[in-house]
Every structure is written in C-alpha cells, then in structure tokens.
Chain A
Amino acid sequence: MLRLPGFEVATPRTIDEAATLLARPGARVVAGGTDLLPNLKHRLEQPSLLVSLAAVRELGEVVVDARAGVLRIGAGVTLTAVSEHPLVREHLPSLADAAGRVASPLIRNMGTLGGNVNLDTRCRYVNQTAFWRSAIGGCLKSEGNVCHVVPGGRNCVAAMSSDCVPVLISLEAAAVLRSTAGGRELPLAEYFQADGREHTVRRPDEIMAEIRVPLPTGPRRCAYSKWSVRKSIDFPLVSIALRFDLAADAVDAAITAVRVVVGVLGSRPREVTQLDAVIGQPLSDPKVAEAIAARVHAQCKPLENVPYEAPYRREMLAVHTRRAIARLVAEG
C-alpha cells in the first residue's frame, strides 16, 4: 500500500481561477494525476495544495483554427480523446498514434495531453519508493547529491519519457502557457532543457492551456515508433518521431523537408540534424532509410537512466528508424 502525503485540493472552474490559486506558495497543478499521484506516493514532491484542472472546461476543446492554420488541442483533452478524435486522426495521424500508445487504456482515459507533455522526467534511481531510494542515499533528483547514472555527474539526466512530445516537436507544435501575469506561446522545440530536475521552461505558476499544431500544407508522411518491454503499460525505451514533407502525395515522391525527433535519451528530446542528404530523394529509396538510421545512431546516445542496456537501445534506435520508414513506404 502506498499512501499519499497530506495536501489540500482546489477545483477551479476557469483558467483564471486556477492561475490565481496556483500563485499560492506550495501550490502544484494536477490534471489526470496519473503521473503526479505515483510520484507523490513515492514522496518525490510534497505540495501543500493541488490545483486540479479537471473541472476547467476551456481546457477540453479540439478546434481547427483555419486562419492561423493550426489545430488547437486543449491541454485537458484526455489521451484517449486525442487518439480517437477525427480531426487529429485526419490531420495529425502520428500524434493520434502516439497518444493511443501511452501507457494503458485506463491511464489514457485519465491522463491528458498537457500532462503527457509535462510528464516528469524518469529514472530507474528516482521512480522508486522512498524506502528503496533510502538504500542508495537518493540522488540529484531526490534526496541525495550524487548521480548514479553518470558517476561524478553534477547534472540530472533523468529521461524525458513522453510519447507525444517527440511527435509534437516533429510537427512544429507550440504550447500556450497561462498565469496571473498573462499568457505566452512558445515552440515545444524550445520548451525543454537539459536538467532532469527542471526539464521544462514552464514556471510553477504557469498552466499549460493549449497545444497548437500546424495543419499540413502539402503531402507528407509521419510516423511514431515506440519500443517498450511490454506492448502496453510501459514507458517507451526507444521513441522516435519522423516527419517527411513530400513533393507529391506518393512515397516515391521527393522529400522536401524532414524532421526526426528522439525521446528517452536525457532530459530533453533530441532533434536529429544533418539530414540534408535525403532532401530531393524519394522516400521509398532504401538509401534514405539507411542514411537517416545512421544519423540517428550517430547522434543519439542513450544512458542507463531507464531499463535495458544503453548500447542495446542505441542499436534499436537505428533498427526502429529503418522499420518505421519501411512501414511508411509499404503503406504507400
């Protein structure tokens, strides 16, 4: 049995009310609770007030903003709803796929898109009971001052383990944050930072209100590839989002733009660079998959922060990149 620590709960009805409550000292935002409650049970945080977003209806909308050319998805939309929503499936199939592969159906019925984007970083030395952690004296992210993943390391390397984040960055999505000081919009590519203790630039008093994903302006193919030990429940151990913009609506058309984003490395997702060689090549050319897999393998260095050996996961990054592209080609 894992008991929650004591706290007060507030259930505001609007974003403004929630922002006012969140400005109080010791306040902490919670949406579906599927990430936060286990962490509280493990005593990784001790907030005095949980500000629940469950009753904030304005966070639950999915709408096309034709003028801005974006799909606006409320941060409070459940992952089940994201994965099944006709607009998401039509315009952003890789996002629907990623949302539908988070954890289990039960958790997707509770967890939200905003919660998945803000999923706390994870590490095999952190996501344990307080009793377990006491045996190793904690670590940088919990009660201690050492890193068990990188001996001598002064920087926490707990893994960004969201399924949706690599996909959203590959689609050039932006996040809208709200607080009593107003609102701001920033690209998700600039949202994460390399510190597992504070891996986003969101201030504690800010609420993620909305994700804005640009609608496709031309033909493209997108994929999300996830490998975990079990096909359900588990967090990803290999996580790759791919996006190819094409000159025509066929897999033998030339690639006009490519984005590849990899998760579960350190505390921020990594955008794979130096992919220019595949621009102008047909997606169906086997050399394209080989070239991209090679760049992924060269640039992504998994750590022993999550289960399974880092060298194995590095090899699997290349394997799953090749397989994901092969699937796109086979689907036509």
Chain B
Amino acid sequence: MTAPVRLLQCTVNGRATAVAVAPHRTLLEVLRYQLDLIGSKQGCDKGDCGACTVQVDGVPKLACLTLAVAVEGREVTTVEGLGERAGGCHPLQDAFDRHDAAQCGFCTPGILMAADALLRRVQRPVTPDEVRAALAGNLCRCTGYTKIIDAVVDASRRLSQP
C-alpha cells in the first residue's frame, strides 16, 4: 500500500523547491521524474555505479539510495546546478571537453559531482591518486578513466590559479 504523499521542502540547485512526494520515492526519482532534472542518471539503481551522484549539503551521495524525504531542509546540487553555479560552463566541464573525458557521457554527471566535491573540499591542485580515490565509486565503461583523471587534475590546477 502506498503511504500518503507529503510536502518536501528543500533547496535544489540554489532554488527553494517544494514538491509532493510519496515516502518511498528516491531522491533520484523525484529529481528526474518530478523536477525534470534528468542530468543525474539512473544506472544500476542499487548503489554500484555512481551515475546518480548528487551533492547533499556539498557531500557527494547516491540519489538512487537516498529517500527523497531525507533531504527535507537540505541543499541538493545536481549536474545542472554545477554549470549554473559557474555562470554557464564549470571549469570541470570545460576540462572534460578539452580532454575528451566523456565518450558516451552516461557516467559523466555523477563523476562531475564527485570530482567537484573533491576540488571544493581540498581547494588546491590534486594528484591523480587523489582523483582515483575520490572517483572510486563511479564506474565508466568507455574511457578507461585516464582522460577523466587528466581532466580533473587539469581543472584543479586552473581553479587554483589566482
């Protein structure tokens, strides 16, 4: 039996958002199918692949394993918000473009959100090993990861320039 819907109030990509959700809906379902934010991808839907990675209060988490009602009062950032925050194209997105770090692109939104959380946490140029560790929960079946790591390292250097 489905429990009654309730009003979820939170911030999504900087905008105050109110949306009616059933308690068993995941954050990913609400983002994609109620708020039309289809950047976050539905991959394995059980926590293995990282394609649904979003930031909750700046911490990268899996939207497929987060109940929508659990983000009440919190700040959710999706890949759509990443570009907006940078006024169009985020330096990470620019680096992914220049390094050809996206091929099919399905994993890219989740990887961008995990990488952005790393760069915002450390606030300095990162090493390839730090990128590998931070992206260890995001699977990519196309690139072999090398170009992704290059792009994140490059973006971290550019972001650290005065």
- Contact of B37 with A by CB under 8 A: no
Contact B42 A1 (CB under 8 A): yes
- State whether B137 touches A105 (Cβ < 8 A): yes
Q: Which residues of B contact A (CB under 8 A)?
A: 1-3, 22-26, 42, 45-48, 50, 53, 59-62, 64-67, 69-70, 72, 114, 133-134, 136-139
- Interchain nearest-CB distance for B94 vs A (Å): 24
Chain A residues within CB distance 8 Å of chain B: 1-2, 4-9, 11, 33-34, 37-38, 41-42, 48, 50, 52, 54, 103-107, 109-110, 231-233
24 sample A-B contacts, Cβ–Cβ < 8 Å, listed by A number: A4-B24, A6-B3, A6-B24, A11-B70, A37-B47, A38-B46, A41-B45, A48-B1, A50-B23, A52-B67, A54-B70, A103-B47, A103-B137, A105-B60, A105-B133, A105-B134, A106-B47, A107-B47, A109-B60, A110-B62, A110-B66, A232-B137, A233-B48, A233-B136
- Judge whether A232 and B61 touch: CB under 8 Å: no
Select from chain A the residue with minimum beta-carbon distance to B113: A106
Seed contacts A11-B70, A38-B65; 15 additional CB < 8 Å A-B pairs: A4-B25, A4-B26, A5-B24, A6-B1, A6-B2, A34-B47, A37-B47, A37-B64, A52-B67, A103-B47, A104-B137, A105-B134, A109-B61, A233-B136, A233-B139
Residue of chain A at shortest CB distance from B135? A105
A106 B3 Cβ-Cβ under 8 A: no
Question: For A110, what are the chain B residues with a Cβ–Cβ distance below 8 Å?
Answer: 61-62, 65-66
Known A-B contacts A7-B24, A104-B137; the reply to A52 vs B45 at CB < 8 A is no
Chain A nearest CB: distance from B103 CB in Å? Answer: 20
Residue numbers in B under 8 Å from A232 (CB-CB): 136-137
Query: Judging by beta carbons under 8 Å apart, are B61 and A106 in contact?
Result: yes
CA distance A105 to B132 in the complex (A): 11
**Which 3 A-B pairs give the minimum distances between C-beta atoms?**
A104-B137, A232-B136, A106-B137
For the complex, what is the distance from the CA of A233 to the CA of B50, rounded to whole Å?
10
Chain A residues with CB below 8 A from B47, complex form: 34, 37-38, 103, 106-107
A301 CA to B132 CA in the complex, in Å? 34
Find chain B residues with CB under 8 A from A233 CB: 48, 136-137, 139
